Amino acid sequence: MKAAYLRGAAFAKYGTTMYVGLGIPIPILNERLAKKTGVSDAQIKSHVLDYGVPSRNRPVLKETNYEELRSGKIVLGDREIQVTPLSSFKHARKIAETLKKWIEDGRFLITQPVERLSTSRRFKPLDVKEHVGK
Amino acid sequence: VKALLSFDTQKVTEPIISAVVLEKKVPLNILRAQINEYGGYVLVEIPNQQSETVLKALRDLGIGVQVKKLIEILRDRCVDCGHCITLCPVHAISYKSDLTVEVEEQDCIQCGRCADACPVTAISILR
């Protein structure tokens, strides 16, 4: 636990928020888990939303993926737009490396679950986004 | 050479920069200009060879001249998110190969968009 991994932040015209750096180990117990965790950036889809529309359900302008986003540029319409993550890749890598080292050194051990996630409780889902023009 | 010129309230209406350009026959690149109730600030780029003569001419006309560091990333605050990169109009900010955010000071025009947007107030515009 380090104060550097929990930082207050404020985005202009958005509000206050927090940078929370959390390392989560995923035990690869079987082939299915290996397949699910071994996805590439290109397989992780994301949407470009129109923040000009002041609604929780903002229209989707384009579907993209993390490979394209991480290249630093995406094409929207006929324009090339610079993009960067709002989180910190550098810190994420650092946390992952730290956790990896702890595991390799035998300093981070997995115990029996303290409490299992509920299978009956339902969470209120966010609205499903639909592509504009479809 | 980049120089930050400051004009007091009386001088903002005089064509001082044009006068120096015509007199010294040196092309100056005005990167940013701002006038407020306290006077005016102009960030100019001067060709290296003629910078001494131009800066002297401006000083002689009563203009405040500063050649100093324009921008600084406060390393103890920066989280290297890169939010500033997309906003920089002159592409002066980029990721290094180790994903550290760095600013190329020579390219900065002190517009201040990065400093306004930085979620952890890690960018300092040195005016």
Question: Looking at the complex, does the CB of residue B100 fall below 8 Å from at least one CB of chain A?
Answer: yes
Structure tokens at A104: 């390799």
Which residue in the set A9, A85, A87 is minimally distant from B120, CB to CB? A9
φ, ψ for residue B25 (rounded to 5)? 50, 45
pLDDT of residue A128: 63
Residue ranges of chain B with per-residue pLDDT less than 50: none
pTM score, whole prediction: 0.75
pLDDT of residue A98: 94
Q: What mean pLDDT value characterizes chain A?
A: 88
ipTM associated with this complex: 0.71
Task: Please measure the distance between the N-terminal and C-terminal CA atoms of chain A and give it in whole angstroms.
Answer: 47
For the stretch A85-119, pLDDT in tens is: 888 999 999 999 999 999 999 999 888 888 888 88
Question: Looking at the complex, does the CB of residue B112 fall below 8 Å from at least one CB of chain A?
Answer: no
Give me the torsion for CA of A26, A32, A34, A39, rounded to 10°: -100
CB B99 within 8 A of CB A93: yes
Q: Residue A40 above 60 pLDDT?
A: yes
pLDDT range class, residue A131, cuts 50, 70, 90: low
pLDDT range class, residue A133, cuts 50, 70, 90: low
What does DSSP say about strands A45-49 and B93-95: parallel, antiparallel, or unpaired? unpaired
User: Which residue's structure tokens are 């104060």?
Assistant: A3
- Distance, in angstroms, between B42 CA and closest chain A CA? 26
pLDDT of residue B1: 87
Q: How far is CA A54 from CA A2, A66, A125, in A?
A: 37, 25, 20
pLDDT of residue A42: 94
CB A74 within 8 A of CB A64: yes
- Distance, in angstroms, between A132 CA and closest chain B CA? 25
CA distance B127 to B120: 20
Question: Looking at the complex, does the CB of residue B74 fall below 8 Å from at least one CB of chain A?
Answer: no
pLDDT range class, residue A127, cuts 50, 70, 90: low
pLDDT of residue A134: 46
pLDDT range class, residue A132, cuts 50, 70, 90: low
Question: Considering all CA atoms of chain B, what is the largest pairwise distance in Å, rounded to the nearest integer?
Answer: 49
CA dihedral (A74, A15, A8, B112) positive or negative: positive
Residue-wise burial string across B76-89, b where 16 or more C-beta atoms lie within 10 A, e elsewhere: eebbbbbbbbbbbe
Secondary structure E strands in chain B: 2-7, 29-36, 39-45, 64-66, 71-73, 93-95, 101-103, 123-125
pLDDT of residue B9: 86
Question: Looking at the complex, does the CB of residue A86 fall below 8 Å from at least one CB of chain B?
Answer: yes
